[in-house]
Amino acid sequence: MSVALLLPPATYSNVGLDVEPLTSGPRFVRTRGMSRWHRPRSGRRYPDDRLVYDAWCGYSIGGGRKRAFLGAEEPPAGEPTCGTCEGRAAGAGQADSPTGRLLIFSPRDITPPKNCPASRSSVLFEELPGGRVGRCLACGDMQPLRAMGGPYNPRYAIVQHPTGQALIEPCPFHRWRHLVARDGRAVCECGRETAS
């Protein structure tokens, strides 16, 4: 039986457009060389059908033939599970708490940022007639435009502002970290389309 993978496979690395984020996976995973079973939080499928799962504790499990992984509904009796994975999976609602206590896990890449990711950008705005005010391409808010950067790096940019109500959908791999302007829209630099 598979479980829902609760987090997107967010990364700071480049990810090809042919890599697919997974929404479900095995309940427990490990490689043959690992000393314990882990719970996956996210995963991705590569074009050659390789699967890689990211465990709650930080390990990446899977890959090529030499790094193949094992999946299980329950670990065999007597084999240990990763305590970090158990606690974080339970706190995020993916699994029941092994001890019955309330556990909480709040990943930073899921909730929208406090300040709009287009803040202080010199390209992620559409200047409105008359100047000095622009529409943010990331959240849709109208914000002042200012000169910034000092004498050696002058630029014209939208001011830092709180994230608006109409923030674009995040890229499953880069979230809102690599936004660029294309055709009057804010999109992820990797080229992946998101529903906006």
Q: Which residues, including other chains, have CB under 8 Å from residue 24's CB and lie 6 or more apart? A: 2, 3, 4, 5
The total number of structural domains in the chain stands at 2
Q: Is residue 136 in some structural domain?
A: yes
Block residue for tokens 């609602």: 93
pLDDT at 137 over 90: yes
Residue predicted with more confidence, 31 or 63: 31
Q: Is residue 132 in some structural domain?
A: yes
Its domain, for residue 148, covers 125-188
Span 11-57, pLDDT tens digits: 877 888 889 999 999 999 999 888 888 999 999 999 988 899 999 99
What is the value of pTM for the model shown? 0.65
84 shares its domain with 6:
yes
Indicate the average pLDDT of the chain: 86
Q: Is residue 110 in some structural domain?
A: no
Span 75-113, pLDDT tens digits: 888 888 888 888 888 888 887 656 555 555 667 778 889
Residue type at 56?
Answer: W
Q: Is residue 195 in some structural domain?
A: no
137 shares its domain with 77:
no
